A = this chain, B = another copy of it.
Amino acid sequence: MTRLSHIAAGVALLAATTLSGIARADNQDVIDYRQHIMKTLGEQSQSLAMVMQGKAPAENVAMHAQILAVTAATVEAAFKEKVAGGESKPDVWAKWDDFSKRAKELSANMADLAKTAQAGGVDAVKPKLQAALTCRGCHETYREQKK
């Protein structure tokens, strides 16, 4: 699936560079794009976790935190359009004010964490990490539980 979608992306890139750029996001595009964003957050939070555990290079802490920050800043907009599907529960839009507030909080937390990582490295990040990474609480409310 990952392999296939990667090849598909390659083909898509080819199309993007040869066609005149007339395109429009359909519902599946909206779902795909927000999933790329969330998967990036997942890969990067797992990378950051490895750094914090001493299982990956400490000097990468600021890089991972920075990626989390710039990616988290796009979450709210990525979910704004009401398109059911993927792993999103309908409550994302039914309770948009709360979802939006949480997305903004995550973004602010990650921006702060990125600054902290840049300034003080692993030791400075450590006491802030648990409170900053609010993935779980939000997923429990807004993400479909897969079997």
Q: Is A124 among interface residues, defined by CB-CB distance under 8 A?
A: no
Q: Is A101 among interface residues, defined by CB-CB distance under 8 A?
A: no
**Interface SS of chain A: helix, strand, loop or mixed?**
helix
Do the beta carbons of B40 and A56 come within 8 Å of each other?
Answer: no
Which listed residue (B6, B14, B50, B146) contacts A42, Cβ 8 A?
A: B6
Q: Is A3 among interface residues, defined by CB-CB distance under 8 A?
A: yes
Do the beta carbons of A25 and B71 come within 8 Å of each other?
Answer: no
Size of interface on A: residues with Cβ below 8 Å to B: 56
Q: Is A94 among interface residues, defined by CB-CB distance under 8 A?
A: no
Do the beta carbons of A39 and B43 come within 8 Å of each other?
Answer: yes
Do the beta carbons of B24 and A50 come within 8 Å of each other?
Answer: no
> Which residues in B have their C-beta under 8 angstroms from that of A47?
33, 36-37, 40
